[in-house]
Amino acid sequence: MALAVALATGLAGCSGSHSILDPAGQAARDVASLWWGMLAGFGLVFVGVVALWLAAFRPRERPARSPDQERRLARSWILGGGILLPGASILLLLAFGVPTGQRLLPLPLPGGETPRVIEVTGHQWWWEVRYPDEAGEVVTANHLVMPAGEPVDFHVTGADVIHAFWVPRLGGKIDMIPGRINRIRLEADAPGVFGAQCAEYCGVQHAHMQLHLEAVAPAAFEDWLAARREPPPEPDDAHAAARDTFAAHCASCHRVAGLYQGDSGPDLSDIGARATLGAGTLAMEEGAIARWLAEHQRLKPGNRMPAHDHLAPEDLEALGAWLETLVP
Ligand code: CUA
C-alpha cells in the first residue's frame, strides 16, 4: 500500500505544467533524456552494489590463497571498482551531457539567421518582459508570449538579487544575475501554456514568483505584438476618478503606455489581459484587481508595493475596474 502511494505520488510529478519529464521542446527533451539516462545508470550501479553486498553474506568455503594471490585480488578490486568503473561512468555521462549543454547555448543558426530575442529581468518578486523590436519595444510583466515552432533567445538578468529563469517543459534553468546578461535558447514544439518559476531562492516571496508562459503560432504572435504597440485607450468619463487615483498613488512606480511612465513596478499597460496577478498569486477574473489592491500585503506578504489602507474601498474598486479595461 505504502509502495503504491509512493509510486502514485512520484508518477503524478511526471506530468503537469512544471514537469521536466513531460518535455515540449528539444532543449527539455535533451534534459529529460539525460535524466532518464542517469536514472538508468544509477539504477544499474545500485543493483550491482546490492548484489555484491548480498553475495558477501553467502556462506561458502573461502579458497586457500597465498598472500601474493590475496594482494593481486585486492589490487584488481581497487583498480576495477575504484578507478575503471567510476572513470567509465563519468566518461559516459560526459559524452552524454556535454552535447546536451552545447545545444542549449545560443550559437549561430545553420542558415546564419538570428532568432527573436526576448529580454526577461527578475525583480523581487515579479518578471519584467521586453520585446526589443524595430517597430517599437513592447513591455509586459509576469506573462510571456513567444512564437511556437521557432527558436527564441532569452536574454536574462536580475534587477536586485540573483533569480533564475526556468521553464521546466521547455528547458533551462539559467541564473539571472544583476549586472550580467545570460542567454538561453528555448523552442516550443507547438502552441501551449507552460509554467515557469523562479528557480533561485530570492527572498520571502520566491514561491510567488511564477511566470505564465504562452507559446502561440507565429502569426498570432505578430498580432499579439502589434496589439501591444498601440497604447491603451484614454480612460472615459466613467473611469476619470480612477485615473486621478492612479495619477496620485500609482503612477510614480507603474507605467501605463501613453499615460504614465513609472518604471520601478510592473508595467500595467495590458494588465487586463494577464492570466494572474502578483506573479501567480491570484487568478485574473472580474474583481480580482480590486481584491489584489485591497489585500495584496495579506496575499503576498512583504511584496514591494505599499499597502493601500489609506485609500477608500470604493476608490480601490474603481481603480480595479479601470485597470481591468486595459486589454490591448
Ligand atoms: Cu526570484 Cu526566486
Residue 257 has pLDDT above 70, yes or no: yes
Per residue in 269-284, pLDDT (tens digit) is 999 999 999 999 999 9
Can you state the percent helix, strand and coil of the chain, rounding each to 5?
Answer: 40, 20, 40
Residue nearest to atom 1 of ligand 1 (CA): 163
Cβ count within 10 A of residue 301: 10
- Closest of 30, 31, 16, 7 to residue 197, by C-alpha: 16
pLDDT higher than threshold 80 for residue 39: yes
Give the atom of ligand 1 at the shortest distance from the alpha carbon of 176: 1
The number of beta carbons lying within 10 Å of the beta carbon of residue 159 is 14
CA gap 167, 117 in Å, rounded? 16
Whether the CB-CB separation of 30 and 100 falls below 8 Å is answered with yes
Measure 298 CA to ligand 1 centroid, in angstroms.
19
Residue 10: predicted pLDDT = 58
Place of cell 515552432: 149
**Taking 60 as the threshold, does the pLDDT of residue 48 lie above it?**
yes
- pLDDT in the model for residue 85: 86
Spans of all domains in the chain: 113-218, 237-324
Q: Which CATH number fits domain 237-324: 3.30.70.1070, 1.10.530.10, 2.60.40.420, 2.60.120.1570?
A: 2.60.40.420
Above 60 in pLDDT, residue 63? yes
Task: Confirm if 173 and 104 have CB atoms less than 8 A apart.
Answer: no
Give the strand pairing for 171-176 and 163-167.
antiparallel
Ligand 1 mean position, distance from CA 22 (Å): 23
Q: Does domain 113-218 have CATH number 2.60.40.420?
A: yes
| Ligand 1 center–CA 179 separation, angstroms | 16
- The per-residue pLDDT for range 73-97, each reduced to its tens digit, is 889 989 988 899 889 988 988 888 8
Helix or strand run (H / E) with residue 195: strand 192-197
Which one is predicted more confidently, 4 or 216?
216
Q: Each residue of 154-181: pLDDT tens digit?
A: 999 999 999 999 999 998 789 999 999 9
| Ligand 1 close to Cβ of residue 196 (< 6 A) | no
Q: What DSSP assignment string belongs to 215-270?
A: EE-HHHHHHHHHHHHSPPPPP-GGGHHHHHHHHHHTTTT-EETTTEE--SS---TT
Q: pTM (2 decimals)?
A: 0.85
**Taking the CB of residue 8, how many other CB atoms lie within 10 A of it?**
9
CB atoms within 10 A of CB 295: 14
Ligand 1: does its nearest atom lie under 6 Å from the Cβ of 229? no
Arithmetic mean of pLDDT, 319-326: 92
Q: What is the pLDDT of residues 97-111, one digit of tens each?
A: 888 777 777 877 778
Domains 113-218 and 237-324 share a fold: yes
